């Protein structure tokens, strides 16, 4: 009787391990006692990054045309009209999610009525998230890009 309980316990442990491995690797487990499925998972759809902050969101299409132009420049990697563009953004205000130094880059959004760079910026993270500030880092909105 002890041997059958031990065998049942061992089978339960093995099934739990198979399930955990399947969950971690993203594969589906097959019937109990068999190996993991070798059928590859379908390719994941490319999607825009989710909002990792508690900041309000704005659709890119709702941004000023100059901000949409800056987003297009960021997507193609430049060239940028201001020498300060594509530089490190330190997040000293602490309004964006905390990340290591060098994670965020800063880009100017032209302000037609300004005699200098103006106050508008887009901040881009290495993970693809982007934020818009119309007021030189006083406030931010997470940009939902139209993909």
**Could you give the number of structural domains in the chain?**
2
Say if 51 falls within a structural domain.
no
Is residue 26 located within the same domain as residue 93?
Answer: no
Known catalytic membership, residue 93: no
pLDDT at 24: 52
Longest dimension (CA), the chain: 88
pLDDT at 113: 86
Is residue 34 located within the same domain as residue 61?
Answer: no
Say if 31 falls within a structural domain.
yes
Antiparallel, parallel or unpaired: β 121-125 and 104-108: antiparallel
Catalytic option among 84, 87, 93, 136: 136
In whole angstroms, give the CA distance from residue 83 to residue 1: 79
Known catalytic membership, residue 136: yes
Is residue 9 located within the same domain as residue 39?
Answer: yes
Q: Which residues of 124-147 are buried (b: 16+ CB within 10 A; e: fewer)?
A: bbeeebbbbbbeebeebbbbbeee
Could you list the residue range(s) of the whole structural domain that residue 81 is in? 57-144
Q: H helices of 26-146, where?
A: 65-76
Mean pLDDT per block of 10 residues along the chain (147 residues) reads: 59 58 50 46 55 88 96 95 95 95 96 90 96 96 86
Is residue 81 located within the same domain as residue 130?
Answer: yes
Catalytic option among 93, 106, 138, 145: 106
pLDDT at 21: 53
pLDDT at 120: 96
Q: Structure pTM?
A: 0.66
CATH of the domain at 117: 3.10.450.30
């Amino acid at each position: 009787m002890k041997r059958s309980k031990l065998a049942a316990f061992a089978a339960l442990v093995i099934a739990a391990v198979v399930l955990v491995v399947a969950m971690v690797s993203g594969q589906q487990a097959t019937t109990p006692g068999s190996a993991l499925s070798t059928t590859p998972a379908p390719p994941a759809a490319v999607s825009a990054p989710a909002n990792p902050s508690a900041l309000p969101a704005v659709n890119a299409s709702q941004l000023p045309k100059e901000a949409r132009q800056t987003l297009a420049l960021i997507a193609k990697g430049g060239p940028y009209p201001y020498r300060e563009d594509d530089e490190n953004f330190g997040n000293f205000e602490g309004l964006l999610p905390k990340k290591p130094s060098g994670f965020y880059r800063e880009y100017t959004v032209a302000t037609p009525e300004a005699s200098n760079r103006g106050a508008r910026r887009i901040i881009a993270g290495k993970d693809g998230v982007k934020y818009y500030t119309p007021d030189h880092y006083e406030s931010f909105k997470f940009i939902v890009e139209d993909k």
